[in-house]
Structure 1
Amino acid sequence: MDSETFGQTLRRLRGDLSIRDVANRAKCGKSYVSALEHDRRTPSPAVVVALDEALDARGELIAAARQSSRPSVLERAEELRRGMTDVLASGGMSDAGIEDWGHVVGRYGRATRYRPEADLLADLLSDFSDLLQVLEHRHPAAVRRKLGVVAAHLSGLVALTLLKLGDSRSRDWWRTGRAAAAAAEDRAAQSWMYAQESYALYYGGDMIGAIELAQRAQSLAWGEPYVGAALAASLEARAHAVLGDRDAAEYALRRAEEALERLDSDFITASAFGYSESQLRFHAGNTWTHLRESGRAWREQQRALELYPQEEHTDRTLIHLDWAMCLAHDGDMAAAAAHATTALVALPHEHRSSLIIDRARHLTNSGSASRLKLSEVQVLKEILALPAGRDMEG
């Protein structure tokens, strides 16, 4: 059957015979035959002939092996495309080519605000592979620096996406991005990388490390209207709030507001490479939530929800979870759990990232044992226990 893989053909022809029997007849290992059936190994020509004879397949397995070894039309298309990319890169990079890479990065930056992380990651890695192919060729120093900034930004976007997916390999991509930004000698890109990496440490529970990186980002941006300064100052405020340092948190929020005011209008946008009042209000609300000042937190949360468009699923949900945490801090655990449940049910399943689920689980682990037995909390726990990708129903 043309639609079958070699492993599927082998399993069909094996019929009622055990894997051990087939392995004995073909004079090969049982685990090897099992790996072939699951398409985890590619058989040698001699093994294919031995298996074909052992199962009296009359050449069917040999034909299946030949079919499996041929590249598909789509694989051939990708091979040709990459070959053309290599040819074009060997001829040097034009200004138009560099500008196109800038548009690619900008598009991805905006896409982080509305595209599901798993979907976005595949496209990011595909374009990163193409960029790597371009960088393998020699370029003038000025061109290589510009491409290095593109590499830094794409690395940061991959890291940010992996972070939201709860994948620890994000830290390796931060390191790659920082190295690319440093090689390009671009302080704006370096500041942005350190700011974004500070978020990784923050969500990983390392508040001291997050503050250090956030301060490094602000130092690199000193006196310049860089996005990294605004991102970093707001993150520093949140980290200080987790540690209970109200004065330091409030001072960092003021620096975040000042950094936002200094930004050019092109960077006050919904993008991973921009910053806006909606983000500032979200971050301020989170800061006051950690400091257990619910009144101030609610005012910031309400303003953030007014500013964020509906397609900003991740941040809007995180704001609602902060709202729920404020309710819990104020002693109404039932309302807190109900509010969190409503927020999760409203969230499309493709946007239910590890970041969202972990924040909601934190709510179910807070409070006294008696409060955690409330029916509303139990419902929230049931929602969180659903397998990934399954739709939640209210």
Structure 2
Amino acid sequence: MAPRSYALFSALYPPHMGGVERFTANVARLLAARGNAVTVVTNDTEGQGAGEKDEDGVSVVRLPCHPLVSGRMPLPRPCALRSRLLREVSSRRFDGVLVNARFYAHSITGLRLARAQGLCPVLLDHGSAYLSMGSPALDWLVRRYEDGVTALGRRYDPAYFGISERSAAWLGHFGIEARGVIPNAIDAAAYRAQASARDFRAELGLSAETLLVAFVGRLVAEKGVRQLLDAARDARLAGRDVVFVLAGEGPLALEVAGAAAATPDHVRWAGALGVPDVAALLLQADALCLPTRSEGFSTVLLEAAACGCSPIVTDVGGAREVVAGPEFGRIIASMSADEVVRAVMELDDDRSLVSLRSRNCRERAELFSWNRTVDALERALLTS
């Protein structure tokens, strides 16, 4: 394929960390490695300094913004610098425009630019439910905001895709028919190779026989953190050699620390970990438990699978792609502590499941390569 010029609009981008950020960064780097000119237009959520600079062969344009909700919900900050940067981006001729995702004000900027150049933008949605802030009042406002931005985006008639089958189906809630799936991905071998040398079992005083159930992510209610802690205190696990190791930081960090102090036989908190340490933890864990409320296509599911760490996960985006059957992991019916306990006891009662699921997950992770994802993305960008 001849080199092309692409614009990727993503409200969030590294060093802000999350699934959308990592997806955009990986796609941008691979598109550039294929000889394409790639411009990422994002927001200056981390105070890097608004402007444009080259990052790994990708031109990254950071726009001035108001980084609300710890940067998770950036809103445009109108000013002369923002206007100048957008004029410079608009002056370039693109062959395709990708917009991540449906519910950001930033997305409208990308849709508008694409249509101004006579292009049909590709809008890749990364959700499978409404965003949640953990407050009924805030969640009501967020839903109305999402509805409004989604309706505004539809005026530009983009080609909609989902990051997972569940994400594509969720678009139907808004009366939108997805054209297909452009899935999340991982370089499984590279992810394992960059794991640190930390021995978490030794650090936490766990034996090789301990069933180590990991959680990796933001310590927030929507990820099912409280359900995990309730499961660890469940009487059915008393006397069993099962330990939940939680890695991450967030508003519920004090609750996690308290549970680790009060229930050390079943709960440990590893704190916030960098990527190499997360990989090391997943390589040593027997299962990843993610009783989350919503995901588009959780990156940590792919990271765990690459490490042979089988998932126990709610039926959210990406779950059925990774957990293709009981021989790969366990999809639980709800976020409840009872569902978590029963899935963990199943593993503890039959340790052969650990090795079976580990082998199968590791093999399955190889299907989700970045080359396949970028192939699908380029086809969508050039044919929509």
- TM over 0.5, shorter chain: no
Larger Rg: 1
Q: Larger relative contact order (C-alpha < 8 A, sep ≥ 6)?
A: 2
TM-score (norm 1): 0.30
Higher helix share: 1
TM-score (norm 2): 0.31
Higher strand share: 2
